[in-house]
Structure formats: structure tokens, C-alpha cells
Amino acid sequence: MAMGLADPRPMRAGVRTSRHGRVIAFEEVHGLRCASVPETLLACARWLCVIDTVVLVDCVLHLRLATRAEIEEVIRPRRPGARRLREALALADERSESAFETLLRLLHVWCGIDVVPQHEVVDADGVLVARVDLWVTGTTSVHEYDGDEHETAIRRVKDRRRDRRLDKAGRVRRGYTSGDVLRRPVTVLEDADRAIGRPHDPARIRPWTKELRRSLFTPAGQADFLRRVAGQGGG
């Protein structure tokens, strides 16, 4: 709950408050005053790690719920969460279309692999072949996240046809699952290293795994989040 400095603090289990010297921007949703989207992102950044915050910012930008300029307006000195939100905004990309697309992109970024989200592959005649999740820049490789919807019979048929079109266009498509991104990320790194012609060094995955362990996408990150929230009263 966002409250003014003079407002009485509710002493209720599970309620966390933040005190503000000025009225923060809000909108009414079904009669309830809710903090604006940028203010909500700032509040989340106070509690979440960088990866989790980037996922939220990507979603907000992709759905056009707020602009980068509007988010930057709430990032002011001494505001809790400001430093993390600034870091997340620098890593954000509005072209990501799902949480795991964001995670797959960040995995590449933290391993020093340059990628382009939602890249359009065209054939020799300039006809669109497919729009892919990630193009490994300067290569023929495209890396994509394959969610559960890709396991349905109808989707499998469409995917195989699409795979053949990409192959005909000279592209190498590699699909990854949530398990690859969260538990076997070094396999993604190995593919990316091979794509750019760089000697494979498994140690490059460490920045990604270090940040991932802090996120809500892992049991360790979830436990750490709950400890921090439980140990922090309103303020």
C-alpha cells in the first residue's frame, strides 16, 4: 500500500506499506485507487531482482501500458527500487512477447551474445519466411523458446512446416524449453558459441546463473524473496 507520511499505518498481517512525501500518480480501477503503472514497477523493483523486474518492464513496454520516458520519470534519487528499475530498464526490450522470451534473451545478453528479438527472416525475393524469437546477430542461427503450446498436434504440424521454410532460407533453428533456460543454460551458451564461431567456455554462464538464482523463477529465489518480505515491515 502506498500511503502519505501522515496517514495512519494499518497494522495487519501481510500488508506492506510505503510512505511518500508527495501524492503518487494513480488511476481508478473499478472504484479502487491503484498506483500508476510506472509507480507499480518502482514498487516491484524494491522487492524483486533484476531478472524479474526486466520481465515486468518488457511486458509493460510491449503492451504499451507505459513508455520508457514515463518509467524514467519515477526513477528519482533516494526512491526505494530506483536503482534496480534503472538497471532493468536498460536491459528491457519491448519486442519480447513472453516472459520466457525475455529470459532466453537475457541469457544470451549476460553471456555476451548479441541477439535481435522478433527478427523477420525473408527469402531471396524479399518475401517473409518467418518472424523468429531471437536472431543471433551476424549468423544464420535463430534461437526460440518453445512453450507447452508447441506440443499440441496441430501446432507441431505448423511448426514443422515453418522449420522447413527456415531451412530452405538457410537458417538454423534451435528451440529451447523452460528446462533449458532455467536448468541447462550452458547448452544454450554452447549453441550460441558455435553459432558465432567463438570457443566454448562454460564459465561464461556464471553471470546468468548468479542472477537467475535470485529470481522468482527458481526455488532459491522464491525462498529468498519470502524471507525478505517476511522480515520487512511497513516503512
31-69 tens-digit pLDDT: 998 999 999 999 999 999 999 999 999 999 999 999 999
- 146 shares a domain with 105: yes
- Closest among 117, 115, 59 to 88, alpha carbons compared: 59
Determine the pLDDT at residue 234.
Answer: 44
DSSP classification of residue 9: P
CATH code for the domain of 154: 3.40.960.10
The total of other beta-carbon atoms located within 10 Å of residue 34's CB is 13
Determine the pLDDT at residue 235.
Answer: 41
- 146 shares a domain with 186: yes
229, part of any domain: no
Domain that holds residue 193: 99-212
Q: Is the pLDDT of residue 233 over 60?
A: no
> How far is it, in rounded angstroms, from Cα 192 to Cα 225?
31
Structural contact between residues 95 and 117, judged by C-beta atoms closer than 8 angstroms: yes
129-144 tens-digit pLDDT: 999 999 999 999 999 9
- 105 shares a domain with 207: yes
Query: Which of 28, 60, 94 marks a domain boundary?
Result: 94
150-196 tens-digit pLDDT: 667 778 888 889 999 999 999 999 999 999 999 999 999 999 999 99
DSSP classification of residue 133: E
